[in-house]
Chain A
Amino acid sequence: DTEVTQTPKHLVMGMTNKKSLKCEQHMGHRAMYWYKQKAKKPPELMFVYSYEKLSINESVPSRFSPECPNSSLLNLHLHALQPEDSALYLCASSQVRGMGTEAFFGQGTRLTVV
C-alpha cells in the first residue's frame, strides 16, 4: 500500500463552521506534512509532524489546528476560516530519518470558504 488517502475530496464551509480534514497512510512513514496550494501557485508548507510530534509550524494562523493522533493519521482542524483560505490542501508523508526520501502525496482536499 503506497497510498496517502485524504478525505473529504471537496469541502465547502462557512466562516463560522468547524470542520476537519483527514489524512491516512499505512506505509510506516513517521513524517507527515500539510501543504496549502492556491490556484496556479506551488504548494506551501504548513505543518510537519515527525514521530507524531509537531516539528515545524510555518507561522500558520491559529484557525488551522493540526493533530497527529497516531503514526498513520493526520488531521487538520479548521475553525473560523476566511474566504482567502480557500485552496487545495495536500497531505504528504515520507520516512523521517534518511534525508532525501521519496514523498508520497494525497489527492488533496479542495476547500471553499464562503
Chain B
Amino acid sequence: KNEVEQSPQNLTAQEGEFITINCSYSVGISALHWLQQHPGGGIVSLFMLSSGKKKHGRLIATINIQEKHSSLHITASHPRDSAVYICAVEMYSGGGADGLTFGKGTHLIIQP
C-alpha cells in the first residue's frame, strides 16, 4: 500500500471551476508538501504544511493531522493551472532531512 494516496488521479474541468485535490497518508509526518509539475519536468513547491491552512493567490491548502488528510483547492481555475499536482510527505526522522515520499500525482486539465 502506498504511504501517500492522492485523488483523483485525473481531473478535467472548465475554466472558472473550483478544484479540489485530496491527499491521504498513513504514516507520521513532520510536514506535507504540495508541488506542481508542468510538462518538461521542473517541480515547483506550492505549499509546505505542518498544520492548519495556507493561502497563496488562488491556491489554498489545508491539513488535518489527526485525520492524516490534506486538500489543495484552486479557486477560479484557469487553463494555465493545467499541470500535475503532487502531494509529498516528510516522515518523522531523528536524523533531520530525509527526503520526500511522493503521491502518484493528480493530472489536472482546465479547459477554456
Contacts and interface: CB of A to CB of B under 8 A. Distances in A.
Contact of B90 (A88, A99, A107): A99
Contacts of B43: 43, 90, 92, 105, 108
A60 B90 CA distance: 20
B50 interface: yes
Interface residues of B, number: 28
B96 A96 contact: yes
Contact of A99 (B44, B97, B101): B97
A99 B93 CA distance: 9
Nearest to A108: B41
B95 interface: yes
Given A42-B102, A42-B104, A43-B102, A105 B45 contact: yes
Q: Across chains A and B, which 10 residue pairs bring their CB atoms closest together, nearest first?
A: A100-B31, A42-B102, A105-B43, A107-B42, A31-B97, A99-B30, A108-B41, A45-B99, A100-B30, A102-B48
Given A45-B100, A100-B30, 10 more contacts: A33-B100, A42-B105, A45-B99, A55-B95, A101-B48, A102-B33, A103-B45, A103-B48, A105-B35, A108-B42
